[in-house]
Structure 1
Amino acid sequence: MTIRLPHGTYEPRTEPASFTAGGAPLASRTVFSAAHVVADPSADVSPNSPAAIDWDATLAFRRHLWAHGLGVAEAMDTAQRGMGLDWPAAAELVRRSAAEAKAAGGRIAAGVGTDQLTGPTDLAGVRDAYEEQLSFVESTGAQPVLMASRALAATAAGAEDYLAVYGHLLRQSAEPVVLHWLGPMFDPALEGYWGSADPDTATDVFLKVVAEHPDKVDGVKVSLLDAGREVELRRRLPEGVRCYTGDDFHYPELIEGDEHGFSHALLGVFDPLGPLAAEAVRVLDTGDKEGFRALLDPTVALSRHLFSAPTRFYKTGVVFLAWLAGHQDHFTMVGGLQSARSLPHLAKAYEMADRLGLFPDPELAEARMKSLLSVYGAER
């Protein structure tokens, strides 16, 4: 059997994914998957309406990730934070997921931001918004991830303002947090974060925040798609502070590391790659770096495709693959974001994922791909 895709004819696999839940806990690396949310397709909403979430399917996907040994990074940009998921919905998501994590024995971290702010503000307003979310996330038992703030980027006059706001938050935090540096390729509103558009200057400010509060920083999450900069940055971190790669282009080499160290992981691409990624890290746990790379290197082409410019719309491909894999019954997204990628882009993602053997039921994936082609009037 073949399927005619916009870019040509393809013969799908027939063997299901070979990765099963369970296995030894991941040991040598701490690995989080930034998980997507499942929209409620029956809700009568518009692109500007508050998010309508299918809670059962959303939480089931998190149990899937925990079952394979991954941690869940909740309410991050993969969950459409700032792209359809507002703070009330994000807070409910964190509350429910944290409770589910306790029941499942899974690890969870959750994003802390300032997205409850809806208009112009000042530094005190930014600080107060951060504090409100930090207090809430801590109350759920999830580990806080201090995300980059659009409001702070718009309000801060320079590096000193970033140092003051982050310093205040770290002094307030009850336990060590993860600091998240999200590059403008993921969110254009974050251009010039840390007070400078020069990446070297920005890196110095970021590291100064860490150096002044090493006891309050579990790690830093770097999403700049610049492997060289990440390696340089992680070598400058204080001892005991981890680097969590957020580089969806170079993650195998960064997680493997070099003679000076390695990166842990907090990645959006580990949403569709979760079972395979967990198996790869278990291989790495045995000291088999070649085996680790043999599993993970072939996935990079798919990841680069999903995260191709405009990078911030990678969520569409992530949710599309979750639908094809049977983790949800529909391809509907919060804010109507399922329309953010073209049919050729999605068809290529299907083929690449199928070649990697990611689908538990290849026949279901093929049938759903054909149904999408039919909706677009492209079935042949």
Structure 2
Amino acid sequence: MALTLTLPKSDGTLSTYALRGTEPVKPARGVRFDRIAYSAAHVVADPLAAIDPWLQCAIDWDATIAYRQRLWSLGLGVAEAMDTAQRGMGLDWPTSLELIRRSLDAAKDSPGARVASGCGTDHLALDAVKTVDEVIAGYEEQMAAIEKLGGTLIVMASRALARVAKNPADYERVYDRILSQAKQPVILHWLGDMFDPALAGYWGSADVDAAMDTALGIIAAHPSKVDGIKISLLDKDKEIAMRRRLPTGVRMYTGDDFNYAELIAGDGAGTEPTHGKSDALLGIFDAIAPAASAALGALAQGKVEEFHAILGPTVPLSRHIFAAPTRFYKTGVVFMAWLNGHQSHFTMVGGQQSTRSLQHLVQLFRLADAANLLEQPELAARRMKTLLAMHGVEA
């Protein structure tokens, strides 16, 4: 018998919804990839902490690290303390550094586990930053702290730099300084203003092509210090164009949560292996981890049709989770973790569970079911009913 519950439709009326009842995709044990794939990982809030949730940050460390261990077990790397972890939207720098420390320690017990950690300037009081030198010092402070722990850096886009930089030369100066002293190759991070409005005009121009020229010039000046660049512009053509212009050996890490399946599969263009495909550093991989792992495993075996058959149905869900206002996508990621039993509650750092409507979450539930991503359908339905009851809907 089909599992059913009552869900509101877009017009507010109620109707019965029957779950598909299909078996969720599971990757083979010991799955291997021919792409590097990082999942930006969310944090699990501590719902019992006696804090002011809009002003203070409390983390359930055991649940947070357990989720990272799950990602590693699926063959995925962890991009730590990034925007998916609510960096800049509730997760402060001291808590971020503690998260990085705990994640790096846990990775030592998981052979082959990849961790790359977000390094930014978010500890600076934004209104107080006046000069590029202050931005450089801010980056250097976080850089030193993470490297002291043995961490690999993801040099995150800086709100402070976007605020004080007057031209592309200011970006060149900052990144020249940071890259020249990095102990090992870093991943650069270009986050579009749809993810963070404070990053509008990054690289010194509102024109994406001009901004891309600046970023590519910085990379070309330091190719040995750049492992790759993650771009999150939600524009596949821009990503492909930039990918084909990267220096030899520098990777494109797709951050395009709308077009990731096509970009990871690649087009095989160019003589450089990294020019014809994208690796991955994606927030959506947190929410679709088993499917992502199974699909990447199929791709590594040359099973391109199977790759698309697994990953293709996840794209509508991802486009919904990352719908405008895109910066609130973290709510959908955490909601998926709750539905699938990877945390016991739907509470977020900063009270961010309130950033999406009931209608948004209901549609997310439907799309997750359609993509075979509900790992425990009975649990997911029961938790969905709890959420509906909190909103006055008896399901």
Aligned to 1:79: 85
Aligned to 1:112: 119
Q: 1:163 aligns with which of 136, 159, 172?
A: 172
Q: 2:63 aligns with which of 57, 69, 77?
A: 57
* Equivalent position SS for 1:115: coil
Indicate yes or no: 2:221 matched with 1:212.
yes
Where do 1:1-380 residues align within 5 Å? 1-7=3-9, 8-19=15-26, 22-26=29-33, 28-105=34-111, 106-118=113-125, 119-121=127-129, 122-260=131-269, 261-380=276-395
Distance 2:100 2:148 in 1: 10
Q: Percent identity, please.
A: 56
* Equivalent position SS for 1:103: coil
Distance 2:5 2:341 in 1: 19
Is residue 266–residue 277 contact of structure 2 (8 Å, CA) maintained in 1?
yes
Q: CA deviation at 1:16?
A: 4.8
Matched residue count: 379
Q: CA deviation at 1:15?
A: 4.7
Is residue 31–residue 74 contact of structure 2 (8 Å, CA) maintained in 1?
no
* Unaligned ranges ≥5, structure 2: 10-14, 270-275
With the length of structure 2 as denominator, give the TM-score of the two structures: 0.94
Aligned AA (1:120): A
Distance 1:225 1:249 in 2: 6
Distance 1:247 1:257 in 2: 13
Aligned AA (2:114): R
- Cα RMSD (Å) of the superposition? 1.1
Distance 2:56 2:179 in 1: 31
Structure 1 residues 279, 36: closer, same or farther in 2, change over 3 A?
Answer: same
Q: CA deviation at 1:291?
A: 1.4
Distance 1:20 1:29 in 2: 15
Distance 2:375 2:132 in 1: 49
Q: CA deviation at 1:352?
A: 1.1
* Equivalent position SS for 2:313: helix
Is residue 27–residue 294 contact of structure 2 (8 Å, CA) maintained in 1?
no
* Equivalent position SS for 2:134: helix
Q: CA deviation at 1:123?
A: 1.1
Is residue 137–residue 143 contact of structure 1 (8 Å, CA) maintained in 2?
yes
Q: CA deviation at 1:141?
A: 2.4
* Equivalent position SS for 1:51: coil
Q: Deviations over 1:269-324 (max 9, x none)?
A: 00011111011011000112111111111111000000000000000010001000
* Unaligned ranges ≥5, structure 1: none
Is residue 16–residue 361 contact of structure 1 (8 Å, CA) maintained in 2?
no
Aligned AA (2:40): A
Distance 2:83 2:140 in 1: 19
